[in-house]
Amino acid sequence: MNAGGRQATWDEAWQEASQAARARVEADAGLLRLMYETMLRSREIDRVAGGADGHWHACEGEEAVLAACYCGLRDDDWVAPHYRGMLQAAHARGADLRRLLAGLTGKATSHSRGRYRSDVCAPVEQRMIGLYSGALGPTLEYAAGAALAARLDGSGAVAIAVFGDGTSSRGNAHEAINLAAVLKLPVVFVCQNNGFAISTPAARGVAARSIADRGAAYGIPGIAADGNDAIALRATIEFAIARARAGEGPALIEARTYRVAGHLVADPAPYRPPDEVEPWRARDPVERLRAKLVAAGLLDAAADTALRARLRDEVDAAMAQAQADPDPAPDALDTGAVFAPVRG
Ligand SMILES: Cc1ncc(C[n+]2csc(CCOP(=O)(O)OP(=O)(O)O)c2C)c(N)n1
């Protein structure tokens, strides 16, 4: 079958499956509540982390990607998050928030024991793949490797790799997606297209009409989804996960969203017209999911107020603890915890 034929097959499958996939997500009250809580908590984390560190990369307005990618996974699935939102992803996977925030404040209680001060902590205990070198792109390759391992183990686990529009044009991103396509690996590639790579608009970094269109060139499904609609995006990702688990190979999902904040807290983003932001604020993903929950009878104003207060208090307490935690002592430099022992 030629590439066009392959594309027609999954296109039709997606057309057939999309409504049912959406209906399934809408009927899962537990998942909807979990996604809403994840998004609200992310915004609280942005508030405290952004207040403490001008280098923080906020996820505001992009939270639907977190909810859709990291809720409802199996414990043995692997995730290679985008650096923007990695701390929230780690917490969504079960890592302790105080320890994660202690990574930001450089404290001894952090996963790196204070040796590395960063918001891009991805504890391997949570089956997470981090941005170990700070270079964007390799995480897609590591995710393809994790997917290969999962297939060799026969575990049925999948890997999810999330990355930005800027990262999507890195050479290793192409290599990873191509290799995964050739080997039909159980990995879902999700491009969190927020319209910018620092100050470069996506339109100046990507010549293709859309990032999803690149899927056809790799010979895999490429699906663009509204990245501010948590339900639609989750339905799309579930379709891709189901294919991957069934041995049908990878997919490329483009989550179209917008970076309403600067690249980092200290960036006032003078390079874009201010009136570009407002229409996106009006499509706020948190508000859209809240309205859905209210319409479905799953949330009322009093419960929403109580939930927001609880999350604010929890996140404030975790940050207060992370700030009060001890600084690393010289023993944090103990090389025994860095290098494998030499066998004699
Ligand atoms: C290989 C590499 N090149 C450049 C950088 C510097 N850098 C850090 S964040 C960033 C922007 C990435 O844009 P995108 O992937 O779209 O993610 P976003 O920041 O928009 O979420 C760049 C270029 C890097 N970390 N790694």
Whether 322 has a pLDDT exceeding 90, the answer reads: yes
**Ligand 1 nearest atom to the CA of residue 134, by list position:** 25
C-beta 85 within 6 A of ligand 1: no
One of 3.40.50.40, 2.40.50.140, 3.30.420.40, 3.40.50.970 is the CATH number of 3-326, namely: 3.40.50.970
Q: What torsion, rounded to 10 degrees, do the Cα atoms 99, 100, 102, 103 define?
A: 130
Which tops the pLDDT comparison, 270 or 343? 270
Q: Name the nearest CA neighbour of 184 among 340, 8, 10, 4.
A: 10
**Ligand 1 nearest atom to the CA of residue 137, by list position:** 1
3-state SS, 237-262, equals HHHHHHHHHCCCCCEEEEEECCCCCC
Q: What is the pLDDT of residues 166-225, one digit of tens each?
A: 999 999 999 999 999 999 999 999 999 999 999 999 999 999 999 999 999 999 999 999
**Ligand 1 nearest atom to the CA of residue 164, by list position:** 15
Pocket test for ligand 1, best of 56, 84, 198 (most atoms within 8 A of CB): 198
Q: Name the nearest CA neighbour of 80 among 156, 153, 144.
A: 144
Q: What 3-state DSSP class applies to 122?
A: coil
Q: What is the pLDDT of residues 68-111, one digit of tens each?
A: 999 999 999 999 999 999 999 999 999 999 999 999 999 999 98
Residue by residue, DSSP assigns 137-188 as SHHHHHHHHHHHHHHHHT----EEEEEETTGGGSHHHHHHHHHHHHHT-SEE
C-beta 27 within 6 A of ligand 1: no
Q: How close is the Cα of 263 to the center of ligand 1, in Å?
A: 9
pLDDT at 11: 86
pLDDT > 90: what percent of the chain?
Answer: 84
Which tops the pLDDT comparison, 12 or 65? 65
Q: How close is the Cα of 196 to the center of ligand 1, in Å?
A: 9
Q: CA-to-CA distance for 254 and 188, rounded, in angstroms?
A: 11
Q: What is the pLDDT of residues 24-49, one digit of tens each?
A: 999 999 999 999 999 999 999 999 99
Residue pointed to by tokens 């499509």: 283
**Ligand 1 nearest atom to the CA of residue 198, by list position:** 11
pLDDT at 1: 44
pTM value is 0.95
**Domain chopping of the chain, boundaries:** 3-326
**16 pLDDT tier (thresholds 50, 70, 90):** confident
Whether 119 has a pLDDT exceeding 80, the answer reads: no
The answer to whether 241 and 187 are in contact (CB under 8 A) is no
**344 pLDDT tier (thresholds 50, 70, 90):** low
